[in-house]
């Protein structure tokens, strides 16, 4: 009989979480460690990366940390040289410039693309080819509901998040025969540093809460279960997928309950 509980265990495996200093990245790192993984906590903010690693160790887990800028291929390669090829990669970094497309400058466009899309590409390329050489691995990158639905001021961000989905699908097709799986997670609205400006506006905050079926924002830890699933053997037949963790945001109109 299959030991179904063991499917989710990550004992003896290494998970590199990029963007682990806060929000979804921190929750993902802590969850992976709770299931037995040795976690490499990477973040542009080294102090934040260290803090996450210390939290994991404080709860009996195994974790190390480093500073990583996803805009630098050298940083990515240096991390792999230092820690080796991970069994799982989780990529969470993302930035946004909230402006209408007609107001976005070339520099602003390039900045968002460089972190969100090209940063994911750098990680997927460098880690993916090493995983393929070894013959195993799971790559998870964070997309967004904005890969499917948009609003004013989200154009470039949305384009990068849609691009991440296609990037991971292509990676799944190319590396699947060599034992590497690649999947995307698309959160709804989550309370993170990126969404802090929205939370500070009560009307805007409530409008987002009312937009989904559960009528509330998500906590970062509510993304962690999907991360553990995709990094573990429980998802051994899942690749090229984009899993929406959005409280029904993309499934329903959500703004009006008609008299039925």
Per-residue tokens: 117: 């899309």
Active site residues: 157
Question: Is 76:123 a contact under the CB 8 Å cutoff?
Answer: yes
**CA separation for the pair 208, 217 (Å, rounded):** 7
CA 96 to chain centre: 15
Cβ-Cβ contacts under 8 Å for 76 (sequence gap 6 or more): 68, 70, 122, 123, 126, 127
Of 164, 191, 157, 161, nearest in space to 22 by CA? 191
**CA separation for the pair 141, 167 (Å, rounded):** 10
Question: Is 13:36 a contact under the CB 8 Å cutoff?
Answer: yes
Per-residue tokens: 2: 């299959």
The β-bridge relationship of strands 180-187 and 88-91 is unpaired
DSSP state of 179: T
Q: Hey, how many other C-beta atoms are within 10 angstroms of the C-beta on 252?
A: 11
């Amino acid at each position: 009989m299959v030991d179904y509980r063991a499917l989710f265990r990550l004992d003896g495996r290494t998970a590199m979480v990029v963007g682990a200093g806060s929000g979804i990245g921190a929750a993902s790192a802590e969850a992976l460690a709770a299931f037995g993984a040795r976690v490499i906590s990477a973040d542009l903010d080294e102090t934040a990366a260290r803090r996450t690693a210390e939290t994991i160790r404080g709860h009996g887990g195994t974790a190390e940390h480093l500073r990583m800028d996803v805009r630098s291929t050298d940083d990515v390669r240096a991390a792999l040289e230092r820690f080796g090829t991970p069994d799982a990669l989780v990529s969470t970094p993302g930035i946004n410039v909230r402006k209408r497309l007609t107001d976005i400058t070339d520099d602003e466009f390039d900045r968002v693309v460089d972190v969100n899309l090209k940063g994911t590409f750098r990680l997927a390329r460098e880690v993916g080819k090493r995983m393929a050489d070894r013959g195993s691995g799971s790559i998870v990158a964070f997309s967004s509901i904005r890969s499917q639905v948009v609003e004013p001021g989200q154009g470039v961000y949305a384009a990068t998040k849609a691009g991440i989905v296609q990037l991971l699908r292509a990676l799944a097709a190319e590396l699947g025969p060599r034992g590497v799986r690649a999947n995307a997670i698309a959160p709804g609205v989550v309370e993170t540093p990126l969404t802090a400006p929205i939370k500070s506006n009560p009307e805007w905050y409530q409008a987002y809460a009312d937009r989904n079926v559960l009528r509330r924002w998500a906590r970062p830890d509510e993304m962690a279960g999907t991360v553990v699933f995709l990094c573990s053997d429980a998802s051994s037949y899942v690749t090229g997928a984009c899993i929406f963790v959005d409280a029904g945001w993309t499934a329903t109109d959500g703004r009006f309950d008609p008299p039925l």
